[in-house]
């Protein structure tokens, strides 16, 4: 009986050490989830101007200012107390949406959110943004070879970016 207990303890120790090592490696970033990072638009997020971010993530296309995209910011819609968490909701009646981008004009890196919707993403879509200071927030959608753009100005009491 004592021999079986020792075998059980050894097995438990081996599994515990393996699990903790795997967790440590994953947490350190040495083992990044390739599926999640496969389409990460790093150049777009590192772009320092609106134009570069738009061009890098959405590409070139005819730009249309239209009511096909609706979005609200904060509560009330043009004011947010804390720039570290500004609520944004996007909805659209467009078909064949390929990409969605939210850009903050006065942030050090303007691209705040990039999304390539799949069948599991439904609109309206809600998210939180960091906004450095009073700024224009721009929502852009690429659908059917065109870029649809709309924007809202938001006032911030406390900036969210350092």
Residues 44 and 10 in one domain: no
Are 15 and 58 in the same domain? no
Check which CATH number belongs to the domain holding 110 and give it.
2.60.40.2470
Cα–Cα distances (Å) from 4 to 8, 11, 45, 144, in that order, read: 6, 11, 56, 66
> Does one domain contain both 27 and 70?
no
For residue 75, the enclosing domain spans: 39-158
Token code pair at residue 99: 């990409």
pLDDT tens for the 162 residues of the chain, in order: 567 777 777 777 777 776 676 666 666 655 555 554 556 778 888 888 888 888 888 888 888 876 778 877 765 567 777 778 888 888 888 888 888 889 999 989 999 888 888 777 777 888 888 888 888 998 888 888 889 988 888 888 876 665
Model pTM?
0.69
Buried b vs exposed e over 40-69: b needs ≥16 C-beta within 10 Å?
A: ebeebbebeebeebbebbbeeeeeeeeebb
Strands (E), the chain: 62-65, 69-73, 79-82, 86-92, 97-104, 111-115, 125-129, 135-143, 146-158
Q: Both 8 and 56 in a single domain?
A: no
Number of domains in the chain: 2
Q: Is 50 helix (H, G, I), strand (E, B) or coil?
A: helix
């Amino acid at each position: 009986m004592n021999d079986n207990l020792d075998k059980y303890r050894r097995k438990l120790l081996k599994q515990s050490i393996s699990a903790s090592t795997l967790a440590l490696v994953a947490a350190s970033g040495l083992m990044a989830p390739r599926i999640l990072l496969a389409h990460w638009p790093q150049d777009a997020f590192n772009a320092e101007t609106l134009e570069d971010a738009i061009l890098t993530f959405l590409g070139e296309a005819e730009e249309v200012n239209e009511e096909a995209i609706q979005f609200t910011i904060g509560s009330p819609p043009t004011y947010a107390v804390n720039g570290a968490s500004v609520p944004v909701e996007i909805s659209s009646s467009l078909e064949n949406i390929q990409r969605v981008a939210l850009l903050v004009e006065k942030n050090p890196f303007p691209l705040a959110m990039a999304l390539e919707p799949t069948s599991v993403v439904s609109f309206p879509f809600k998210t939180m943004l960091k906004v450095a200071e009073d700024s224009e927030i721009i929502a852009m959608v690429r659908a059917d070879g065109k870029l649809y753009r709309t924007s809202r100005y938001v006032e911030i009491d406390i900036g969210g970016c350092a």
